[in-house]
Amino acid sequence: MSISSFLLHNIAGLMFERPTRGLTAAVILQRLEQSQVDFDQHLQQYAETPKNCALLGHIIGVERWAQARLRQCISGPSAPDESDAYVPAPDVSFADLVADAHRTRSDSVALLGELIDAGVPLTRTIVHNQFGALTVAAWSHYIAKHSMLEAKKMR
C-alpha cells in the first residue's frame, strides 16, 4: 500500500467510520434523513451559475455512484466504475438539479432503509475508489458529508 493510500484509508476511518461507530440502524437512517432537510435548505440560498450547476451535478453523480455501490449488498458485485458516469447532463438548470438532488437523497434514504430491512449488517464493507473498504454505515455518513462539503464551494 502506498503512503497516499495509507493516508486516505486512515482519513476515511476518522471522517466516515468513527462518527458511525456504535450507532443503531435507526439513528444512522434518521441522520441521513435529516441530512436531506439540511442539504435542501442549504441549496435554497444559491442562484444558478455555471459553477453551482457543475458542483451540484458532481454532488448528484457521487451520490448516485454511492447508491450503486451500496446496492451491491443486495445484487452482488458489479464492475468498478467512477462517479462521472452518474452526473446529470451539463445543460440541466440549477432548479432542475436541486429537484434532482432532492430525489437522489430520497433514493439514498430509501436504499438504506431497504438494506436495513433486508438484514444487511451495517458493518458490511464495500470498496470506495479512494478510501478503500467502507462499512454500510460509513457510506451513509459519506453521502451526507460529501454533499455538504462540496456545497460549501457554491457562491
Question: Over the stretch 2-58, which tens digit does the pLDDT of each residue have?
Answer: 887 778 778 888 899 999 999 999 999 999 999 999 999 999 999 999 999 999 999
* CATH number for the domain harbouring residue 68: 1.20.120.450
pLDDT in tens, 81-119: 999 999 999 999 999 999 999 999 999 999 999 999 999
- pLDDT of 80 reads 84
- Based on the number of CB atoms within 10 Å of its own CB, is 74 exposed (0-12), middle (13-18) or buried (19 or more)? exposed
Q: How many angstroms separate the CA atoms of 44 and 95, rounded?
A: 10
Domain interval for residue 112:
3-151
Report phi then psi at 127, rounded to 5.
-75, 130
How confident is the model at residue 79, as a pLDDT? 84
Write down the pLDDT at residue 1: 73
pLDDT of residue 2: 83
CB 140 within 8 A of CB 116: no
More reliable by pLDDT, 8 or 129: 129
**C-alpha distances out from residue 94 to 35, 89, 117, Å:** 20, 12, 34
Task: Identify whether the C-beta of residue 26 lies closer than 8 Å to the C-beta of residue 122.
Answer: no
User: By the 8 A CB rule, do 113 and 73 touch?
Assistant: no
List CB contacts of 90: < 8 A, sequence separation 6 or more. 53, 54, 57
- Please tell me the predicted confidence (pLDDT) of residue 60: 98
Q: What is the mean pLDDT of residues 115-140?
A: 95
pLDDT in tens, 55-71: 999 999 999 999 999 99
User: How many distinct structural domains can be found in the chain?
Assistant: 1
Q: Is the pLDDT of residue 141 over 80?
A: yes
